[in-house]
Structure 1
């Protein structure tokens, strides 16, 4: 069994994953199981940039190798093309997309440099797994350097339909580079279908009998591989010491009131202003909830150098002040808005204390918060998940209350339905949801993808 070589923009941590994101948690176990290398950006800016000395550390059979970025690379590749061009396009926000040629050039340059620095680390039997929109060109760069190993790519964010993707000035070259990968994975069948449509309509592809695409002289496999969580472990977090402390503390503060919870990074894709207005509509249309229902939003800032993100935070702060000023009483505040990051064990206790989990992105690849909320619930008295139809998780979590995140009336109505839902119905819905998330775990996701990648590469050869 060959080593696994994982490439992602940010790397680790390998040891304490208590505050790590879903990608890191999902990859650590499979790396330890197979042994290998995790390669990516060090998170540091230096004059040498991608020519910097390799930063290395090892933990057991896993080697971490990172390189720096220069300030120009950071501005053009990361803050520029990745986050001001690809991110908004992939999330259907062409109004926020910055089509700057120097960003495109920086993205290509950094992908080429990362490929050049990765190549000497590779061994003949390695399986290479490239992650996310930062490295869509990396596979093609490795192929151009003579790398023949199996190379797979997984996109953690949405993939847009052709009508949106073709707005990118270099969309044809971007997709052509993707075809260097043996297997392309997506979070949902909707995203996989979007690329299939593009390949047929824009590149004249034919679908083969095994579901692969024959296009531009290449046979490429693509499919949906919905990422999961370790549901049983996360359920354990909810009853851990830290989880229970937060559960009891919140229950004491609530004093019999009902809590609704949302946990997201501050990002225009998460639908947070619409969510806050839906909570306001709940109190307007269903006044019986005033004084007995409150909403907590945990939203750590992200990408503060991008103006759109700081604008959202100011909007949310303004909405919080307005809604609280409009409805608050001396012993009740409708909305709590927290901008600090919380450990996963603490979040698990907060989820468990909340009757409603509100996950309403305008567009999302998966959204693991939805699965974490389900995992953290008390089996005897579970809460209700209100979930956007445009989150990848909606394909799996069909027993949630599925809503249109653009409709504040629909969200408010779903919140009222959840608040009034009988315990028996809540338990029945939760049991089906929990059964599903325990089957599609992070471990099964990674193993399934690697098995399919190995098969796809063998068939391709």
Structure 2
């Protein structure tokens, strides 16, 4: 049986098979690697004075992990630079925040070539290689240059940008054409896939072949949309665990006689956190009789704090939360509880279950699994209501949520009021449909479908049949 090699910027395989804080994607990929006797390859997170390509091999709960250190310059240019200051804001339509530095692009190319040089000797003839996310777009091209002809798949976990913005990127065509060296490309939604196809046909001289094939520049690859999800049963088990139940009890007691709204997002401008606070403030302004009866718990772990844009965002959010509390709080009630800390998955499950409303309002998001976690955490007999941005990839599936435009604070305020006053029968009806959609995109289903499709394709060294 072929081995599976998973490649990502950072390796998140759990060190303990029972580690309940591990996310669904990491758990699903780890399970697949155990099944296929595979390897998870990526950056160690550590720096070295001189790049040697030396691998650190570890066993993490039955998963073989291969880690490599990078030079400090690589980290600054490839990771902090091109990945997080160029591609991330561009792919989320924040051209105003996108840094077009030549050194960043050069570091990105150099570091991916180094990854390829270290990874190539690990790849055996029948291995299947699955590369994840925008950090490693050119990796298949670099592996092909080293003679690797195995089946290689790629999955993008962010949105794909509209062509008119993508062309602002210097050497955009070279970046996109490096994707043509993959056998299979995966996107979360049909919208992201359609935007990719639009670029290929308009800018790269390609054409669509059948329903799922793309033939750019005489090279053929298959591309499709496949929404990822959560480990549904694992998340429900985390919710029902001792810590999950204790967290629920604690939050239920803390919100006694009040309705809790919850938002959980890492600190990022794509999550719409400033707009969310404005929407909640508008709700308080429009509904004075409900003040004191509801509060927003916003959990926002700090991320990328070495990037100036994120430092500025953190300062603005601190000020905004303080402004709302200063304007509306009473001696025994604060409308916003704003926390910059990380919680375990079982704790989050308990928090979600205690919340009457889940507020998930990104400005642009590849998928957003918090929305699916909130649904899975609910009590079927008395579920909460999900409010979801139309610009989250999850909105394509979770149609029974209250779908909102996060840029329109009045619309968000009205949705909050509707969610808090919704009848139990309607809440159950909506939750039942949402839960069915969450189960249909369980992360194990998504994983197995991708690997099965990739395995069935001819490799770059084999004769290709029509991919439709």
With the shorter chain as reference, the TM-score category is over 0.9
Once the 2 structures are TM-superposed, how far is the Cα of residue 287 of structure 1 from its aligned partner? 1.3
SS at the partner of 1:364? coil
> Which residue of 2 is the match for residue 277 of structure 1?
278
Gaps of 5+ in 2: none
Once the 2 structures are TM-superposed, how far is the Cα of residue 58 of structure 1 from its aligned partner? 2.0
Q: 1:106-136: CA deviations, max 9, x gaps?
A: 0000000000000111110000000000000
Distance in structure 2 (CA, Å) of the matches to 1:287 and 1:224 = 44
Q: In the alignment, is residue 28 of structure 1 matched against residue 26 of structure 2?
A: no
CA contact (8 A) 1:8 1:130 kept: yes
> Which residue of 2 is the match for residue 372 of structure 1?
373
Distance in structure 2 (CA, Å) of the matches to 1:292 and 1:247 = 19
> Which residue of 1 is the match for residue 432 of structure 2?
431
RMSD of aligned C-alpha atoms?
1.3
Q: TM-score, length-normalised on structure 2? A: 0.96
SS at the partner of 1:288? helix
Once the 2 structures are TM-superposed, how far is the Cα of residue 323 of structure 1 from its aligned partner? 0.6
SS at the partner of 1:207? strand
CA contact (8 A) 2:24 2:231 kept: no
Gaps of 5+ in 1: none
CA contact (8 A) 2:25 2:230 kept: no
> Which residue of 1 is the match for residue 346 of structure 2?
345
CA contact (8 A) 2:183 2:221 kept: yes
Once the 2 structures are TM-superposed, how far is the Cα of residue 239 of structure 1 from its aligned partner? 2.1
Deviates more, 1:222-231 or 1:451-460: 451-460
SS at the partner of 1:222? strand
Distance in structure 1 (CA, Å) of the matches to 2:143 and 2:172 = 20
CA contact (8 A) 1:48 1:68 kept: no
Distance in structure 2 (CA, Å) of the matches to 1:340 and 1:123 = 42
> Which residue of 1 is the match for residue 73 of structure 2?
72
**In structure 2, do the counterparts of structure 1 residues 278 and 210 end up closer, same or farther at CA, with 3 Å as the change threshold?**
closer
Distance in structure 2 (CA, Å) of the matches to 1:48 and 1:72 = 10
**In structure 2, do the counterparts of structure 1 residues 262 and 180 end up closer, same or farther at CA, with 3 Å as the change threshold?**
same
Distance in structure 2 (CA, Å) of the matches to 1:301 and 1:460 = 46
Distance in structure 1 (CA, Å) of the matches to 2:86 and 2:20 = 31
> Which residue of 2 is the match for residue 48 of structure 1?
50
SS at the partner of 1:179? helix
> Which residue of 2 is the match for residue 302 of structure 1?
303
CA contact (8 A) 1:130 1:153 kept: yes
Distance in structure 1 (CA, Å) of the matches to 2:296 and 2:339 = 11
CA contact (8 A) 2:297 2:338 kept: yes
SS at the partner of 1:337? strand
Q: 1:262-316: CA deviations, max 9, x gaps?
A: 0000000000000011110000011122000000000000001111111111111
Distance in structure 2 (CA, Å) of the matches to 1:40 and 1:211 = 29
Deviates more, 1:415-424 or 1:19-28: 19-28
> Which residue of 1 is the match for residue 21 of structure 2?
19
Once the 2 structures are TM-superposed, how far is the Cα of residue 412 of structure 1 from its aligned partner? 0.8
SS at the partner of 1:98? coil
SS at the partner of 1:228? coil
Q: In the alignment, is residue 201 of structure 1 matched against residue 202 of structure 2?
A: yes
Distance in structure 1 (CA, Å) of the matches to 2:63 and 2:329 = 53
SS at the partner of 2:93? coil
Once the 2 structures are TM-superposed, how far is the Cα of residue 204 of structure 1 from its aligned partner? 2.1
Distance in structure 1 (CA, Å) of the matches to 2:214 and 2:194 = 12
Distance in structure 2 (CA, Å) of the matches to 1:176 and 1:429 = 42
CA contact (8 A) 1:182 1:460 kept: no
Distance in structure 1 (CA, Å) of the matches to 2:71 and 2:390 = 40
Distance in structure 1 (CA, Å) of the matches to 2:22 and 2:156 = 18
Distance in structure 2 (CA, Å) of the matches to 1:60 and 1:292 = 46
Distance in structure 2 (CA, Å) of the matches to 1:302 and 1:22 = 20
> Which residue of 2 is the match for residue 232 of structure 1?
233
> Which residue of 1 is the match for residue 291 of structure 2?
290
Q: In the alignment, is residue 212 of structure 1 matched against residue 213 of structure 2?
A: yes
Following superposition of structure 1 onto structure 2, how do residues 410-425 of structure 1 map, counting pairs within 5 Å?
A: 410-425=411-426
Q: 1:171-218: CA deviations, max 9, x gaps?
A: 100011010000110111110111000111112222112430111011
Following superposition of structure 1 onto structure 2, how do residues 178-189 of structure 1 map, counting pairs within 5 Å?
A: 178-189=179-190
CA contact (8 A) 2:324 2:335 kept: yes
> Which residue of 2 is the match for residue 460 of structure 1?
464
CA contact (8 A) 1:36 1:61 kept: no
> Which residue of 1 is the match for residue 2 of structure 2?
2
> Which residue of 1 is the match for residue 115 of structure 2?
114
Following superposition of structure 1 onto structure 2, how do residues 350-361 of structure 1 map, counting pairs within 5 Å?
A: 350-361=351-362
Once the 2 structures are TM-superposed, how far is the Cα of residue 457 of structure 1 from its aligned partner? 2.9
Moved over 6 A (4+): none
Distance in structure 2 (CA, Å) of the matches to 1:32 and 1:217 = 37
Once the 2 structures are TM-superposed, how far is the Cα of residue 248 of structure 1 from its aligned partner? 1.0
CA contact (8 A) 1:401 1:414 kept: yes
SS at the partner of 2:41? strand
Q: TM-score, length-normalised on structure 1? A: 0.98
Q: 1:147-188: CA deviations, max 9, x gaps?
A: 000000000011111111111111100011010000110111
Q: 1:347-376: CA deviations, max 9, x gaps?
A: 100000000000000000000000000000
CA contact (8 A) 1:22 1:368 kept: no
Distance in structure 2 (CA, Å) of the matches to 1:297 and 1:460 = 50
CA contact (8 A) 2:271 2:365 kept: yes
